[in-house]
């Protein structure tokens, strides 16, 4: 992969300028960014998974700058078309499909995070609504439950199978940009297998009041404990999944709360090298993350005012630096790609080397982030169906239907 190498100081300067004029942070020009977005939509590459490329092209035709509000407005417009269609449909299956299409367009409109963009914030509200409408139209009943973090509410989405007692629970923590609504859609088919799913935003993202800071995992545990108050849920069968940066919290909880979980899945989760300044700067200047990587990461931390402070605090989040290499975990599945430019393979190997429960690994030698392999046609849904879901069901003492 070609990397456009920049110093971290230049990256930070770019971010501050971009924040001032509300423009997307990228090393690509407007035309190059548009071409990359179309390419990813046509190939179903993150973050434009399973999106209609014609809808994407139509939205892009109304965009003439890298202004965040302009991009969000254009994709909201396309999403609104499908949402309005869904509202008028009598056929539930078709309505659910249209709600789902609207959700994806709203999701990309706010991607990777609002970042003080008014239109992106509006897009996120619409994404949340469309996600709930899509799931409920498909027959899934969603409850919003709330944990507590330092006196503030921590929202989460709970989906329960119908008329089944003693159901196992899968806790799903979103990543830097794929939040609880996206994760609910990705994992909702497990409800049909008799698994309750609980999705939430990781600290520093979405509606979470927590940040990437010491003790923030208690925001996740608070939500989990709230869900376990439901008498329908079997407390003895709980698995956790953390994808991308959510895998960081999977690593944390597997070590700090092993008794809560039958097993934990860490899917391309950061551990140590990810937090090094040189590694981070190369990632932010690279091509794998579409755009706005640096400001989205900046939002994870609390009260960070400048570049030096950012890197000082960011480095402190290394789990190796915090002594996790000697902590015993519950059973774990560790997944990733050896060609991942964002989360080095060494971070995955460090997790596998932690003491405690049995570690299983799936590392795609040709895979990028999350183990995706575009050339082989191995994308997120394929990896979930072939690797993640079977492991989860096995650890919950269930068989796939």
Domain assignment of residue 282, yes or no: no
User: In this structure, what are the phi and psi dihedrals at residue 350, rounded to the nearest 5 degrees?
Assistant: -65, -40
> Where is the domain boundary, 139, 173, 200?
139
The pTM of the full predicted model, rounded to 2 decimals, is: 0.93
Residues 218 and 91 in one domain: no
In a domain? residue 23: yes
Last residue of a domain, one of 139, 160, 176: 139
Asked if residue 63 is part of any domain, the answer here is yes
253 in Cβ contact with 240 (< 8 Å): yes
Q: DSSP alpha helices (H): ranges in 299-377?
A: 307-315, 345-352
- DSSP category for residue 334: E
* Cβ contact 359:351 at 8 Å: yes
Dist. CA 269–CA 369, nearest whole Å: 10
The parent domain of residue 377 ranges over: 141-276+318-401
Q: Are 348 and 336 in contact (CB under 8 A)?
A: yes
Backbone angles phi, psi at 169, to 5 degrees: -125, 135
Residues 147 and 127 in one domain: no
Q: For position 232, which CATH number holds?
A: 3.40.50.1820
Residue at 364 is within a domain: yes
Task: Look at residue 295 and tell me if it is in a domain.
Answer: no
Whether 305 maps to a domain, the answer reads no
Contact 145, 156 (CB under 8 A): yes
265 close to 391: Cβ distance less than 8 angstroms: yes
The Cα–Cα gap between 224 and 147 comes to 8
CA Rg value for the chain: 20
Q: How many domains does the chain have?
A: 2
Mean pLDDT score, 342-371: 98
Q: Which element (helix H / strand E) includes 366?
A: none
Are 128 and 237 contained in the same domain?
no
Structure tokens at 48: 């434009």
Structure confidence by residue, pLDDT tens digits, 369-392: 999 998 899 999 999 999 999 999
In a domain, 182, yes or no: yes
Together in a domain, 39 and 103? yes
Measured at the CA of 343, the angle between CA 379 and CA 127, to 5 degrees, comes to: 55
Structural domain includes residue 32: yes
**Which parts of 28-152 fold into alpha helices (H)?**
30-43, 53-60, 68-88, 92-110, 118-137
Closest CA to 377 of 387, 367, 390, 369: 367
Only one residue has tokens 């056929």, namely 91
Whether 124 and 148 map to the same domain: the answer is: no
* Look-up of token digits 């003080």: 116
Structure tokens, 150: 């330092």
Can you give the pLDDT at residue 282? 84
* Percentage with pLDDT > 90 across the chain: 87
pLDDT in tens, 39-94: 999 999 999 999 999 999 999 999 999 999 999 999 999 999 999 999 998 899 99
7-11, 374-378, 394-398: the lowest-pLDDT one: 7-11
Are 74 and 223 part of one and the same domain? no
pLDDT in tens, 154-188: 999 999 999 889 999 999 999 999 999 999 999 99
pLDDT digits (tens, 9 = 90+) for 234-271: 999 999 999 999 999 999 999 999 999 999 999 999 99
Of 298, 289, 285, residue with least CA distance to 27: 285
CA 354 to chain centre: 24
């Amino acid at each position: 992969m070609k990397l456009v190498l920049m110093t971290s100081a230049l990256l930070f300067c770019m971010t501050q300028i971009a924040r001032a004029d509300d423009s997307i942070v990228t090393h690509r020009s407007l035309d190059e960014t548009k071409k990359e977005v179309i390419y990813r939509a046509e190939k179903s590459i993150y973050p434009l998974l399973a999106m209609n490329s014609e809808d994407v092209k139509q939205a892009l035709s109304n965009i003439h700058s890298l202004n965040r509000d302009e991009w969000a407005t254009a994709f909201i417009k396309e999403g609104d078309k499908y949402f309005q269609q869904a509202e008028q449909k009598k056929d539930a299956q078709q309505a659910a499909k249209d709600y789902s299409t609207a959700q994806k367009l709203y999701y990309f409109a706010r991607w990777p995070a609002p970042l003080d963009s008014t239109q992106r914030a509006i897009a996120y509200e619409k994404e949340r609504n469309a996600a709930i409408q899509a799931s409920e139209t498909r027959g899934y009943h969603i409850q919003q439950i709330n944990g507590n973090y330092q006196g503030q509410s921590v929202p989460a989405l709970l989906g329960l199978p119908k008329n089944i007692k003693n159901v196992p629970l899968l806790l799903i923590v979103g990543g830097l940009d794929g939040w609880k609504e996206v994760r609910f859609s990705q994992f909702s088919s497990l409800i049909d297998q008799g698994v309750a799913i609980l999705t939430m935003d990781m600290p520093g993202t979405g509606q979470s009041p927590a940040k990437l800071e010491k003790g923030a995992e208690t925001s996740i545990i608070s939500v989990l404990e709230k869900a376990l108050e439901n008498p329908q849920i079997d407390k003895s069968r709980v698995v956790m999944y953390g994808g991308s940066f959510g895998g960081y919290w999977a690593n944390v909880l597997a070590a700090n709360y092993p008794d809560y979980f039958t097993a934990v899945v860490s899917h391309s989760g950061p551990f140590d090298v990810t937090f090094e300044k040189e590694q981070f700067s190369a990632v932010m200047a690279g091509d794998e993350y579409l755009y706005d990587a640096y400001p989205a990461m900046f939002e994870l931390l609390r009260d960070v005012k400048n570049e030096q402070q950012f890197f000082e605090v960011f480095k402190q989040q290394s789990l190796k630096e915090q002594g996790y290499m000697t902590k015993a975990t519950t059973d774990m599945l560790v997944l990733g790609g050896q060609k991942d430019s964002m989360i080095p393979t060494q971070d995955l190997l460090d997790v596998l080397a932690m003491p405690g429960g049995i570690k299983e690994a799936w590392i795609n030698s040709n895979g990028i982030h999350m183990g995706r392999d575009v050339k082989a046609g191995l994308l997120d849904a394929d990896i979930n169906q072939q690797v993640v879901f079977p492991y989860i069901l096995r650890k919950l003492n269930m068989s796939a239907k």
